Structure 1
Amino acid sequence: MLKKITPLILTYNEAPNIERTLQRLIWANKIIVIDSYSTDATLEILYSYPQIEVFQKKFDSFASQCNYGLGKISSEWVLSLDADYILTDELIDEINALQAETDINSYSVRFKYCVFGKPLRGTLLPPRKVLYKPEKAIYQDDGHAHRVVVEGNSTILSAYIHHDDRKPLSRWLWAQERYTLLEVKKILETPVTELSLGDRIRKQKILAPLIILIYCLILKGGILDGWHGCYYAFQRVLVEIMLAIRLIEAEKLE
């Protein structure tokens, strides 16, 4: 099955991450990378792998970048990855054992969030469709994130991807600044009846940070992961506080 798959990766200044991601993709005959004009060592790392084809496109949205990337895929299957997704040995073996001729058009994978390389017991990351037939798929923006819609049957694999982002805190804060603005727009412009339970709680502003702290440390077992679990919980609480402040600001400026 692996020979029928082309990995697709989006990059922008991913030098702290991309090497570890690529090392788990040495089985691929071709890797497509859509780069948003990186200014760090990302391109140098990418060009050191002969099977990688790099296409540069100015970033406008994640969905637009991904759909552009799908247009570069000629294989039967695409494996869509972020630049900080690390395939586990178990997942590679599971994918390789899949039957290429099947009525399944997409496979979802669960994640283990890593803090400085250590996988945590729990995460807020939901399963994501990462392996699918490109001609059946299209990406849509969803707040700060994006999701792929794939026609036909889907199932979930049993092994995990490690989400292991090692970019510095300053870059993380820069990203959250952008993400919270998009999330505020989504929350305020979507009718309440169409919002998820999580977004309804966020719209109340005060409760979300407290709920996330309890959820990450207690319900997801983060406290058992020591300082790694606390670090993750504090990250998520900070994001919710930033989002709450942005919501207050947006409502007062209306």
Structure 2
Amino acid sequence: MERELLSVVVTTFNNADTLDACLRGVGWAEEIVVLDSGSTDATLAIAAHHGARIHAQPFAGYSAQKQAAIDLASHRWVLLLDSDESIGEEAAALLQRTLVAPAHAGYQLWRREWQFWRWQSARTRLNHYVRLFDRQRARMSGHEVHESVLVEGSVGVLDAIIDHYGEPDIAGRTAKANRYSSMQLADLAQRRVTWLRLRMVAYPTVAFLRYYLLRGHYRSGWAGFIAARVHAFYAFLKYAKLYEARQRQLHRGEPDQ
């Protein structure tokens, strides 16, 4: 019995360090679509080596860029990957079996995180995201950051793991927290976020405890502790920057000399 044809969709920008592993794991797919936003390293050469169909456009934001890449796919079923993610042979085999007779409009896959110098402990809680879906019944959420795939129809969960390399060091993780918290201002500004001072004081601690204890990252040793602290820093930054933006609106004059 034949399976559904699959388009693998990846957005890129200077991802030469991780793209080869990403595309190597999906060489069995009928199509690989890469939408690049101006890479100056070996990203495009790596994509061409793997037979990808390469397109380019200026970066339009994470959600819009991914939606544009999805729209370029030739086949109905899409596997959406970040350029710093990869899947192994077991996950690939499960995806292929699922595509023989898909029972849902989309499927969530688990994601394992690289934390600075080690993988997160096998006993920590993994995040899961919709990554395999019928693109005629799905679209990106439109959020500036933490974008997700919204599916019209039922969503299943596959026992398949995506390996996410992310930021390889603390400097990269904190830089991402700073960048994402700035980008999230547009989303937060559309919501009626109240009690900002209290959120700045209390929410970072809540975020740390939830990540470190409830999600089990204490099992990853000091790497898990540092990751939880950076996560709490991000929780603080997004509300502090929203508070700053509101204060600037209230005090539109020149700064005090």
TM-score range, shorter chain: 0.7 to 0.9
The C-alpha deviation readout for 1:180-223, integer Å capped at 9, x for no partner, is 1232332232135xxxxxx9899722112111222222222222
- CA RMSD, Structure 1 to Structure 2 (Å): 2.6
Contact kept in structure 2, 1:3 and 1:28, CA below 8 Å: no
Residue of structure 2 in register with 1:144 after alignment: 145
Contact kept in structure 2, 1:10 and 1:33, CA below 8 Å: yes
TM-score (normalised: structure 1)? 0.84
Alignment of 1:15-34 (within 5 A): 15-34=16-35
The C-alpha deviation readout for 1:140-162, integer Å capped at 9, x for no partner, is 31242322222222211122212
Contact kept in structure 1, 2:124 and 2:219, CA below 8 Å: no
Residue of structure 2 in register with 1:207 after alignment: 202
Deviation at 1:225, TM superposition (A): 1.0
- Identical positions, percent: 22
Residue of structure 2 in register with 1:232 after alignment: 227
Deviation at 1:30, TM superposition (A): 2.1
Task: Give the match's secondary structure for 2:136.
Answer: helix
Cα pair distance change 1:101/1:218, threshold 3 Å:
closer
The C-alpha deviation readout for 1:25-62, integer Å capped at 9, x for no partner, is 1222321001111122222222222x211100111122
**1:111 matched to 2:111:** yes
Residue of structure 2 in register with 1:185 after alignment: 186
Task: Give the match's secondary structure for 1:142.
Answer: coil
Query: Which runs of no fewer than 5 residues in structure 1 stay unpaired?
Result: 193-198
Cα pair distance change 1:146/1:220, threshold 3 Å:
closer
Contact kept in structure 2, 1:32 and 1:73, CA below 8 Å: yes
Deviation at 1:167, TM superposition (A): 5.2
Deviation at 1:168, TM superposition (A): 5.7
Contact kept in structure 2, 1:34 and 1:56, CA below 8 Å: yes
Task: Give the match's secondary structure for 2:11.
Answer: strand
Q: Distance in 2 between matches of 1:201 and 1:217?
A: 23
Task: Give the match's secondary structure for 1:127.
Answer: strand
Q: Distance in 2 between matches of 1:14 and 1:73?
A: 21
Q: Partner amino acid for 2:151? A: V
Residue of structure 1 in register with 2:255 after alignment: none
Cα pair distance change 1:2/1:43, threshold 3 Å:
farther
Q: Distance in 2 between matches of 1:100 and 1:66?
A: 25
Contact kept in structure 1, 2:4 and 2:99, CA below 8 Å: no
Cα pair distance change 1:67/1:224, threshold 3 Å:
closer
Task: Give the match's secondary structure for 1:155.
Answer: strand
TM-score (normalised: structure 2)? 0.83
Deviation at 1:103, TM superposition (A): 4.6
Residue of structure 2 in register with 1:164 after alignment: 165
> Which of the two has higher C-alpha Rg?
2
Contact kept in structure 2, 1:205 and 1:247, CA below 8 Å: no
Cα pair distance change 1:92/1:117, threshold 3 Å:
farther
